[in-house]
């Protein structure tokens, strides 16, 4: 169980015996706006030496770029990279599994290819590479000539007959039509070779597809919650089922509310506790801390936290609206904003 691990690493520095995991969109920021109480909330925890991590279902940039950007938006507060994870961070673990071509989906330009390379993927291919060679694969694609020149890698030969090993959806696609068509082509191909079609159907696609988040909705600065990667997944699922005349697509899904993502976040918190231990006295207090997840989305943040044995605080600054059906994702408490959530966790 998790508790003994924490017990070993708990230090006197955290005499409040509590730790926090924060969602980002709808809790710390909202599109181009920053939640006014966010900086003070994190500062308060730093002052109290309480461990915290950020766990977002967002993504699309490297972890380093993302923490730098966030730090700037939060008044310069330090956000160490090892206190941050995004939806696709656990994809690092797939590097040894998929050594051949991998279709990288989503994000701006070729940003997610850069992330994939940083993680160690050897042959990441993006939509622009395929459109460059075969513009008619999706005749309505949205790529301009200069974008193809900028983002596509001409050294990639998509017609070499080598199969794709897998499809990894890093982030919400920017040209959904292109991505939908190419993904379905590969799922229904002969062993992952682009431009082929397999003869028979089953629920298992020709190559695996991994989604990094299944949020139907997320919260930006538009007044109503927006469709997220989960809406894209629903589209792929529906088209697969329709095309195969009834087979439901098998896929791998991570991100909140799934355990794999909470395990990853848990390990980051354990590491933080370890660090504190090095700077603390030997007379460490021995008890497992309570972890509070602060989130705005009942279906991901709250459901996942409850299932993982954490406490959960649902805030009113994002997806959740008062009176909405919580559909089995009942938080420990509902509060106005992230600062109230931190104060609540510290006091309880
Ligand atoms: O695309 C972002 C989104 O689905 C959720 O982000 O920070 O609320 O988990 P976050
Ligand atoms: Mg959120």
What average pLDDT does the structure give for the chain? 93
Fold adopted by 89-253: Rossmann fold (3.40.50)
Cβ contact 219:25 at 8 Å: yes
pLDDT number for residue 2: 45
How large is the average pLDDT for residues 106-133?
98
Ligand 1 mutation pick, 21, 23, 173, max ligand atoms within 8 A of CB? 23
pLDDT in tens, 296-325: 999 999 999 999 999 999 999 999 999 999
pLDDT at 264: 96
277 pLDDT band, cuts 50/70/90, is low
**pLDDT bracket for residue 278 (50, 70, 90):** low
Going from the Cα of 237 to the center of ligand 1, the distance in angstroms, rounded, reads 21
Q: Decide: 338 and 315 in contact? Cβ < 8 Å.
A: yes
pLDDT in the model for residue 287? 58
Measured in angstroms, how far is the CA atom of residue 24 from the centroid of ligand 1? 7
Which of 89, 105, 215, 253 to mutate to test ligand 1, by most ligand atoms within 8 A of the CB atom?
A: 215
- State how far the Cα of 182 lies from the Cα of 79, in Å rounded to an integer: 37
Contacts of 156 (CB under 8 A, 6+ apart): 123, 125, 129
What's the rounded Cα separation, in Å, for the pair 48 and 14? 7
Let me know if the fold of 3-87+259-347 is the same as that of 89-253.
yes
CATH 3.90.1640.10 fits 3-87+259-347, yes or no: no
Three-state DSSP state, 169 = strand
Is the Cβ atom of 26 under 6 angstroms away from ligand 1? Answer: yes
Domain segments of the chain: what residues?
A: 3-87+259-347, 89-253
Residue-wise over 178-199: b if at least 16 C-beta within 10 A, else e? bbbbbbbbbbbbeebbbeeeee
Cβ neighbourhood burial of 7 (10 Å; 0-12, 13-18, 19+)? middle
The secondary structure of residue 198, as a DSSP letter, is: -
In ligand 1, the atom with minimum distance to the C-alpha of 296 is 8
Beta bridge partners of 314: 295, 334
Percentage of the residues of the chain whose pLDDT score is greater than 70 = 92
- pLDDT attached to residue 10: 42
pTM of structure? 0.93
Expressed in angstroms and rounded, the spacing between residue 305 Cα and the centre of ligand 2 is 13
Q: What's the rounded mean pLDDT across residues 77-88?
A: 97
User: Ligand 2: distance of its center to the CA of 96 in Å?
Assistant: 31
| Nearest-5° Cα angle at 29, 28 to 31 | 165
Q: What is the pLDDT of residue 289?
A: 82
Of the ligands numbered here, which is closest to the C-alpha atom of 296? 2
Which atom of ligand 1 is found nearest the CA of 58? 2
Residue 5 has pLDDT above 70, yes or no: no
Instruction: Name the closest ligand to CA 226.
Output: 1
Residue 272's pLDDT is what?
A: 86
Residue 261 contacts residue 93 (beta carbons within 8 Å): no
Take atom 1 of ligand 1 and give the residue whose Cα is closest: 58
- Is ipTM > 0.95 here? yes
Quick one: pLDDT band at residue 271, thresholds 50, 70, 90?
Answer: confident
Q: Establish whether residue 58 lines the binding site of ligand 1, counting it when its CB lies within 6 angstroms of any ligand atom.
A: yes
Ligand 1 proximity of 84 Cβ (cutoff 6 Å): no
Mean pLDDT of 235-250: 98
Number of helices and strands (H, E) in the chain? Answer: 11, 15
Instruction: Read off the pLDDT of residues 206-229 as tens digits, 9 standing for 90 and up.
Output: 999 999 999 999 999 999 999 999
Q: Give the pLDDT of residue 292.
A: 98
Q: What is the mean pLDDT of residues 146-175?
A: 97
In the chain, % of residues over pLDDT 90: 89
The pLDDT score that the predictor gives to residue 150 is 98
């Amino acid at each position: 169980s998790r508790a003994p691990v924490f017990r070993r690493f708990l230090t006197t520095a955290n005499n409040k015996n509590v730790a926090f995991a924060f969602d980002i969109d709808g809790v710390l920021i909202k599109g181009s706006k920053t939640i006014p109480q966010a900086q003070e909330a994190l500062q308060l925890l730093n002052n109290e030496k309480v461990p915290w991590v950020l766990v977002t279902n967002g993504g699309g940039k490297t972890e380093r770029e993302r923490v730098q950007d966030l730090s700037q938006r939060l008044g310069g507060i330090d956000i160490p990279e090892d206190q941050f994870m995004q939806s696709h961070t656990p994809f690092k673990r797939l590097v040894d599994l998929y050594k051949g071509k991998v279709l990288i989906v989503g994000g701006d330009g070729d940003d997610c290819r850069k992330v994939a390379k940083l993680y160690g993927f050897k042959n990441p291919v993006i939509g622009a590479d395929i459109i460059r060679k075969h513009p008619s694969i999706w005749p309505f694609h949205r790529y301009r000539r200069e974008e193809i020149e900028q983002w596509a890698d001409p050294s990639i030969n998509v017609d070499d007959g080598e199969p794709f090993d897998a499809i990894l959806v890093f982030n919400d696609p920017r040209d959904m039509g292109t991505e939908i068509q190419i993904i379905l082509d590969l799922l229904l191909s002969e062993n992952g070779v682009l431009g082929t079609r397999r003869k028979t159907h089953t629920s298992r696609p020709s190559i695996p597809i991994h989604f990094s988040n299944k949020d139907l909705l997320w919260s930006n600065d538009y007044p109503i919650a927006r469709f997220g990667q989960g809406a894209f997944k629903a589209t792929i699922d529906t088209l697969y089922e329709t095309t195969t005349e009834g087979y439901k697509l098998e896929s791998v899904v991570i991100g909140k509310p799934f355990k794999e993502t909470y395990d990853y976040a848990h390990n980051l918190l354990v590491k933080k506790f370890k660090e504190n231990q090095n700077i603390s006295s030997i007379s460490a207090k021995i008890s497992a801390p309570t972890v509070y997840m602060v989130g705005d989305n009942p279906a991901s943040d709250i459901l996942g936290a409850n299932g993982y044995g954490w406490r959960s605080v649902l805030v009113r600054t994002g997806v959740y609206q008062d009176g909405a059906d919580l559909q089995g994702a009942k938080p420990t408490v509902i509060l106005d904003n992230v600062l109230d959530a931190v104060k609540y966790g510290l006091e309880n």
